[in-house]
DNA sequence: ATGGTGGCTGTGCCA
C-alpha cells in the first residue's frame, strides 16, 4: 500500500497538478494539507473520478486537510482534543481496512509558528503537545499508524540546504526540533531518514529562485508506529513535481507499506 | 536582500 503526504497549497489552484500526479503515482492513500477550502467547496468529484473516497476537514481561506483513499476511510476524527476553542483545521485521522489488516492514517498540518517572538510560536508548541498526546494514545492500539503531514519542522541541519539561514525561524527552533525528537523517542520512525542518509528536501520557497538553487528544506514527514515501521518497504520523494507548471511549494512524500 | 512569490481574499493575511 502506497501512502503519501502532500501540502498542495490550495486545492483549487492545484486541481490539475494534483489529479495529474495522482493518476501517475496512484497512491492508495493521499494525505493533503493546506487545501484552503471549506468542505462544501472541495472539488471531490475530480478525485472520485480517479477512484478515491474523499474526506475533508476544511476551513475558509487557510489551512484545511483532506484524506483521499481508494478504500473507504472509516471512523474519521476531525481535530485534536485539548483546545475546544481552536477553530483551525489542521488534523484529520481515519482507518483504512485492507485484506492484510488495518492502517490508521492522519493528515497533519502543524502551525508554521513564525515569528518566534509572537503568540503564533506558542500556538505551534501547544498544538504540538496536543499531537503528542494523540500520538501516544494511538501507540497503545499497537496498530500500523502513519502520521503524515507538513510538520513545519526542520529536524536536523542536514535537512536544510542553508541551515544557518533558519537559525531564527520557528521551523528550526530547539523547541520545534525537540518536539520532533520526542515523537521518535516515543517509537515513531521518520520514514525518510530511516531509508537515506542523504540531504533531501520536500519544500522549496517560491521566492528568490529557491528551486533553481535547490535551496530546500525537509519539513514534510511520514512518522510510522512500530507496527507500520515493521512493514515499511520503500520511501520516495516526488521531487520532479516541484519543477512542473503551477507547482505547490511542497512535493509529495510516499511510503510503500506491506499492508 | 527589512526584499522576494503565490493563494485566497477582499484591497491585507498567511506562508
Catalytic residue among A150, A159, A190, A220: A150
Segment A213-221 mean pLDDT: 98
Band (pLDDT 50/70/90 cuts) for residue A12 is very high
d(CA A172, CA A163): 8
Grid coordinates of A21: 500526479
Domain that holds residue A197: 2-257
Residues A69-87 pLDDT 10s: 999 999 999 999 999 999 9
Nucleotides of B under 7 A from a protein CB: 1, 4-9, 14-15
Scan for cell 526542520, then name that residue.
Answer: A154
Segment A125-144 mean pLDDT: 98
Segment A110-115 mean pLDDT: 97
B1 C1' closest Cα residue: A208
Catalytic residue among A52, A109, A151, A188: A109
Detail the protein residues whose CB sits closer than 7 A to any atom belonging to strand B.
Answer: A 9-13, 36-37, 60-62, 111-112, 114, 120, 152, 206-209, 246
How many domains are there within chain A?
1
**Whole-structure pTM value:** 0.97
Q: Is A150 a catalytic residue?
A: yes
Whether pLDDT at A115 is above 90: yes
**Mutual angle of helices A174-186 and A119-139, in 10-degree steps:** 0
List b or e across A170-207, with b for residues whose CB sees 16 or more CB atoms inside 10 angstroms: bbbbeebbebbeebeeebbbbbbbebeeeebbbbbeee
Residues A13-29 pLDDT 10s: 999 999 999 999 999 99
B9 C1' closest Cα residue: A61
Q: What is A162-228 written as a DSSP string?
A: SGGGGTTSGGG-HHHHHHHHHHHHHT-EEHHHHH--S---SEE-SSTTTTTTT-EE--EEEEE-HHH
Q: How far is the CA of A205 from the C1' of B5 (A)?
A: 8
Q: Is A221 a catalytic residue?
A: no
Band (pLDDT 50/70/90 cuts) for residue A67 is very high
Instruction: Note whether A32 and A58 are within 8 A (CB).
Output: no
Band (pLDDT 50/70/90 cuts) for residue A122 is very high
Mean pLDDT estimate for chain A? 97
Instruction: Note whether A4 and A28 are within 8 A (CB).
Output: no
Q: Which nucleotide is nearest to A8 (CA to C1')?
A: B7
Q: Is A206 a catalytic residue?
A: no
Residues A145-168 pLDDT 10s: 999 999 999 999 999 999 999 999
Whether pLDDT at A226 is above 90: yes
Instruction: Note whether A210 and A165 are within 8 A (CB).
Output: no
Q: How far is the CA of A100 from the C1' of B7 (A)?
A: 40
CA proximity to A81, closest of A125, A127, A122, A130: A130
Q: How far is the CA of A140 from the C1' of B13 (A)?
A: 40
Residue A177 belongs to domain with CATH number: 3.60.10.10
Q: How far is the CA of A113 from the C1' of B15 (A)?
A: 10
B6 C1' closest Cα residue: A206
Give the model's pLDDT for residue A100. Answer: 84
What are the binding residues of A for Mg(2+)?
Answer: 7, 34, 150, 152, 249-250
Amino acid at each position: 500500500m502506497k501512502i503519501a503526504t502532500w501540502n498542495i497549497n490550495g486545492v483549487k489552484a492545484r486541481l490539475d497538478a494534483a489529479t495529474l500526479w495522482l493518476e501517475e503515482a496512484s497512491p492508495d492513500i493521499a494525505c493533503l494539507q493546506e487545501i484552503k477550502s471549506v468542505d462544501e467547496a472541495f472539488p471531490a468529484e475530480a478525485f472520485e473520478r480517479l477512484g478515491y473516497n474523499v474526506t475533508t476537514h476544511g476551513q475558509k481561506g487557510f489551512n484545511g486537510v483532506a484524506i483521499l483513499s481508494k478504500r473507504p476511510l472509516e471512523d474519521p476524527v476531525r481535530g485534536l482534543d485539548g483546545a475546544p476553542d481552536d477553530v483551525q483545521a489542521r488534523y484529520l485521522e481515519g482507518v483504512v481496512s485492507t485484506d492484510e489488516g488495518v492502517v490508521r492514517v492522519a493528515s497533519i498540518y502543524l502551525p508554521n509558528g513564525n515569528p518566534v517572538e509572537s503568540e503564533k510560536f506558542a500556538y505551534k508548541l501547544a498544538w504540538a503537545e496536543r499531537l503528542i498526546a494523540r500520538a501516544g494514545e494511538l501507540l497503545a492500539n499497537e496498530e500500523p499508524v502513519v502520521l503524515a503531514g507538513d510538520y513545519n519542522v526542520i529536524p536536523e541541519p542536514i535537512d536544510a540546504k542553508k541551515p544557518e539561514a533558519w537559525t531564527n525561524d520557528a521551523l528550526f527552533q530547539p523547541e520545534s526540533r525537540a518536539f520532533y525528537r520526542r515523537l521518535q523517542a516515543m517509537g515513531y520512525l521518520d520514514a525518510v531518514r530511516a531509508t537515506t542518509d542523504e540531504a533531501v528536501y520536500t519544500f522549496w520557497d517560491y521566492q528568490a529562485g529557491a528551486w533553481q538553487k535547490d535551496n530546500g528544506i525537509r519539513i514534510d514527514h511520514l512518522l510510522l508506529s512500530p507496527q507500520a515501521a515493521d512493514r515499511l518497504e520503500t520511501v520516495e520523494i516526488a521531487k520532479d513535481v516541484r519543477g512542473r507548471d503551477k507547482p505547490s511549494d511542497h512535493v509529495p512524500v510516499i511510503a510503500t507499506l506491506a499492508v
